[in-house]
Amino acid sequence: MSASHNTVTRVLSHHYDAEADAFYVTFRKAPIASQVTLSPEIILDETVDHTIVGMEVLYPRENWPQAQKWLRQHGFLVDFPLSSFDVTPSNNTDQ
């Protein structure tokens, strides 16, 4: 995973799954060949030539700052505030 392989600096798409408390950022559309675990909560998807395709961040309220720091250090420009992961609890009417 070298910076020279990762010339994409913009986010192609992103998705927050509130039920799983997971945030996924996609940088390019390409077949995923492998995953690299940066930490138990931060996982990179990459192509066969080690180009980063995307990143999954579990429990992003706690882990997004670390993931964002890693991305910035490797030339990716991402800026999602922690408030992006705030979820209003649903009203549970089951009693």
Boundaries of every domain in the chain: 3-72
pLDDT for 9? 56
Q: How far apart are CA 11 and CA 15, in angstroms?
A: 11
Cβ pair 59, 85 in contact under 8 A: no
Q: How far apart are CA 16 and CA 20, in angstroms?
A: 9
Look at residue 22 and give its three-state secondary structure. strand
- At 26-65, the pLDDT tens digits run 998 999 999 999 999 999 999 999 999 999 999 999 999 9
Distance of alpha carbon 35 from its chain centroid, rounded? 12
- At 70-86, the pLDDT tens digits run 988 888 877 777 676 66
| Per-residue pLDDT band at 12 (split at 50, 70, 90) | confident
Written as six digits, the tokens of 28 are 């390019």
